[in-house]
Structure formats: structure tokens, C-alpha cells
Amino acid sequence: MSEEEFKAAVQEGNLKAAASIAQQLMKSPSLFEIAVIGESGSGKSSFVNAFRGLADDDIGAAKVGMVETTEWSIVYSHPEYSNVFLWDLPGIGTPNFQSVEHKRTDTYLSGYDFFLIVTATRFRKIHANLARKIQENAKKFYFVRSKVDQDLGAEKRKPNYSEARTLWQIRENCQAHLQKAGVNDPQVFLLSNWESNKYDFPLLKESLDKELRHAMLQKLLDISCWTLQEKKTAMQKTTWKPATLSGGPGAIPLPGLSLVADMAVLMDCMRDYCKDFGLNSDSLSALAEQVGKREEDLKAVIRSPLATEITIDLVLKLLEKCVGKGVTYLTYFAWSVPVVGSLFSGHVSFGTTVFMLDNFISDLAEDAQRVLVKALEGEEKKSKQHHQEINLSVMHEKKPQPIHLSWRQV
């Protein structure tokens, strides 16, 4: 399965196939680069090893030591995903971190998709400044408080020792310092590099897995958005054909309007458009079965009419909504397509019909994107449970026309 296959399925209006491909792609995220950053001695390299399931002395493990051992940024593969990499960066404040490459912070940060800011003690202003810079670059990050096993070992000598209470105090202290330094809602994970099955290590892996899958989902939704916009533009270039047919011998005058149209031609055309975008009942039923959702829930996000809801009355109301706008549109159309435009320059019918169909196609493109968003919603959480909710937004291009022809408003 590939992103090109996903794009082709969206282009064909096969939303079931698109969802199926997306589900497979989410199991193997595309290129994603994670920067592990922190002060020298914070346990960055040991963290990278523990995350990858390696001991510090294993072959292929990151070099660790009592002094700064990471002189340059070194990349390591993710233990589960072939396209995901962890970058062990030189320690904050070391000469290598302050080299020419690292002084241009914006350019430097843009090279990574996600950040893990590691410290072995409390988080300080230097960490908060880095976090704010990451946020300014529209990137995400987690704070990792390593070596909590050492803190717990020291606390065990005290009377009334409680591991849960001690961990809570460490977490509260970290979050308080970060918030005081201006970091909003910091996510802090407490862990030991020597016990990767304890404390917050499992939750960190689970949360990062969710971030990877979410990033893949967002990428696919971006692809579907642009694919649908391209499809919309291509289809709008052909609306003059059904507009011409609707004004042919079978056309009838519409009561109260200075135009004529063949309702049967327009209804068949609009129903075909619904099918082309995968918004007919059969396609939606197949999609619902593929993603394990109710068909009614998918239909609930659709704002344009389904194929079965396209009636003479609805088409008439949409045309009524477009009268006047069609004249302006026809002027542009006659200029851009002079051969066809000149044939109808004296008829409001043609411009109105083209304008209505163009708006209908635009609405369908947005609806197809909404349906895909709804269908794939939560896919990144199916294999891993997490406490946070995902907020998916629909990307859509604003139409240049001055009105929006939502069928529920006519």
C-alpha cells in the first residue's frame, strides 16, 4: 500500500478503498524524525538505548559516559517503524550544540518533526526557552524526566515513604517550574533508563506511537484534501456540457424565472456527481462497514444532498438561489470560453445552471473530505489507548463565489 494508491482511490471516489489503504499505512508511518535533546549528562543517549531496547554496551547502542560523548547529531532507527528515526543531539550548552549549525535555531528545529527534551533534574529556564522556540516553529514535544529511580532511592530512607506520592511530587514540581517559565500545559514523563517497563516509560512509548499515527493520518488527510480540490477543479471545467443539454429541446420554462431547464438532465447529472465523489448510499454503506462505524454517522457530516434526495423541487430551489449570480458568472464564462460562451451570451439559463453545478461540485468535494475525516477518526487510537482526544479539522478551499449553496438552506 502506498500514498499514491490512497490518492488514486480518493480521485476515483472509492472511499472504502481509500480508508482501507489509510488503515494499512497507519500501521507503518512515513518518514518521521524525532530529536532527543537535553543537557550533557541528562541521560539522552541512555534513553535512546532504552527506547530501542538496547543495553549501553550492546552493538549499535548510542555511546554513553561520564563526560559528553555525543559530539555530533547521530541518528538511530526506531525499534518498530523503519521510517522513523531518533536523533541523539549534542548536549545543550556544549560547544558542539552552539556551533554555527545550531545557532540558526529556526532552521535547525525545522529539520525535525518532534522533540523529546530530557533532563535528569528539575527543568530549568534553558529547557523552557527551547520548548517555546519549538512551539513557535509549530512543532510538538514531550518533557522527559530521567533517572527518577535515583530520586526514589534517596526518598526510601525517609519515614512514611510512598513511591506514588514521590512520583506525584516530582511531576508537580517539574510542571510548576515549566509553567512558571511560560510553557503551557507541559507533558512530563517520569522514567528510568534502566527500567523501561516501569514508571512512565510504557506511557511515553504509547503516547509517541499515537503521535506517529496521528501525523500519518494528518498527512493522508492533507493528500485527500488536495486531491479532492484538483478533482473539483477538473469537474467544474466540464459543467458547461450538462448545462448545454439542460437548455436543449427538452427544456421547460421555470415558473417565475427567466430561464429554462431540463430537470431530468440536471437531476441525473447531480446524482452522477454524488457517485463520482463516493457520496451515494452504496459507497457510504461500504465505507461504514470498512471502518466499523454507523452509516448514519457518516451521513451526518454531509451538508449537500445525497443522490436519493435530489428531486425536481430541490434543483428548482438551487436554481432560484443562483439567479442573478449566473449572469455575472456567464460574463466570465463567455470571456474564458468564447466559442461556447458566445452561443449562450443572451440566455440567463446557461450561466445560472453552470454556476449552480459548480457550487454543487464544490460542496461535494468538501463533503467527501468531511466523510473521510469522520471515517478515519480515531484510527490512530485503535491499537493503542490514550487519555487524550484527537481534534481533526477539515481542510477546505474557500470558494470564490459570493454565496454558499448549502442545500439545507434553500
Statement: residue 164 has pLDDT above 70: yes
Distances (CA, A) of 345 to 238, 241, 329: 18, 15, 11
Residue 89 pLDDT: 83
Residue 80 pLDDT: 83
**Same-domain pairing of 268 and 394:** yes
Residue 255 pLDDT: 54
Is 336 a domain residue? yes
Query: Per DSSP, what are the bridge partners of residue 115?
Result: 35, 141
**Same-domain pairing of 163 and 250:** no
**Same-domain pairing of 120 and 234:** no
Contact call for residues 216 and 26 (beta carbons, < 8 A)? yes
**Mean pLDDT of the region 65-72:** 52
Lowest mean pLDDT among 93-97, 140-144, 155-159: 93-97
**Mean pLDDT of the region 190-206:** 88
Is 178 a domain residue? yes
* Nine-digit cell string for 47: 534513553
CA angle 265, 267, 269 (to 5 degrees): 70
**Which pTM does this prediction carry?**
0.75
What is the average pLDDT score of the chain?
Answer: 77
Is 221 a domain residue? no
Q: Residue 114: count other Cβ atoms within 10 Å of its Cβ.
A: 20
Angstrom distance (rounded) from CA 17 to CA 14: 6
Angstrom distance (rounded) from CA 207 to CA 187: 10
Statement: residue 186 has pLDDT above 50: yes
Name the region of 387 (left: φ>0; alpha: ψ -120 to 50; beta: rest): alpha
**Mean pLDDT of the region 209-237:** 92
The one-letter amino acid code at 241 reads: K
**Same-domain pairing of 265 and 185:** no
Residue 225 pLDDT: 95
Is 17 a domain residue? no
Strand, helix or coil for residue 252: strand
Contact call for residues 266 and 246 (beta carbons, < 8 A)? yes
Q: How many domains does the chain have?
A: 2
Domain encompassing residue 252: 228-409
Residue 67 pLDDT: 46
For the chain, what's the residue count?
410
State which of 152, 184, 199 marks the end of a domain.
Answer: 199
CA angle 95, 208, 202 (to 5 degrees): 105
Is 361 a domain residue? yes
The one-letter amino acid code at 11 reads: Q
Is 1 a domain residue? no
Residue 265 pLDDT: 84
**Sign of the CA dihedral running 38, 41, 47, 48:** positive
pLDDT in tens, 75-100: 888 888 888 888 888 777 655 554 43
Is 223 a domain residue? no
